[in-house]
Amino acid sequence: MGLPNFLIIGTAKGGTTSLYSYLSQHPKIYMSPNKEPGFFALEGESLDFQGPDEAFSRTSVTNIEDYQKLFDGVTNEVAIGEASPFYLYFPKASERIKHYIPEAKLIVSLRNPVDRAYASYMHNVRMGYETDSFEASFNKESERIQDNWIYLWHYKQCGLYYQQLKRYFETFDREQIKVYLFEDLAQSTQSTVQDIFTFLSIDDTFVPDLSIVNASGIPRSKLIHNLVDRGNPVREALKSVVPDGLRKDIANQIRKINLAPKPPIEPKTKQVIADFYRDDVLKLQDLIDRDLSGWL
SS3 83: strand
Output b/e per residue, 223-247; b: 16+ Cβ within 10 A: eebbbbbeeeeeeeeeeeeeeeeee
> How confident is the model at residue 232, as a pLDDT?
58
- Cα gap 8→6, rounded to integer Å: 7
Number of H helices, E strands in the chain: 15, 7
Residues 23, 202: Cα–Cα separation, whole Å: 11
Q: What is the pLDDT of residue 49?
A: 84
8 Å CB contact between 14 and 85: yes
Strands 259-260, 218-219: pairing kind: antiparallel
Q: Where do the domains of the chain lie?
A: 6-209+267-295, 218-260
Q: What confidence score (pLDDT) does residue 284 get?
A: 98
Q: Cα(110)–Cα(18) distance, rounded to whole angstroms?
A: 13
Per-residue pLDDT of the chain (296 residues; tens, 9 = 90+): 589 999 999 999 999 999 999 999 999 999 999 999 999 999 998 888 887 765 777 889 999 999 999 999 999 999 999 999 999 999 999 999 999 999 999 999 999 999 999 999 998 988 888 989 998 998 899 999 999 998 989 999 999 999 999 999 999 999 999 999 999 999 999 999 999 999 999 999 999 999 866 655 555 555 565 555 655 565 556 566 667 666 566 666 665 666 656 788 889 989 999 999 999 999 999 999 999 999 98
Total-model pTM: 0.85
Task: Report the top-level CATH class of 6-209+267-295.
Answer: alpha beta
What pLDDT, on a 0 to 100 scale, did the predictor assign at position 42?
A: 95
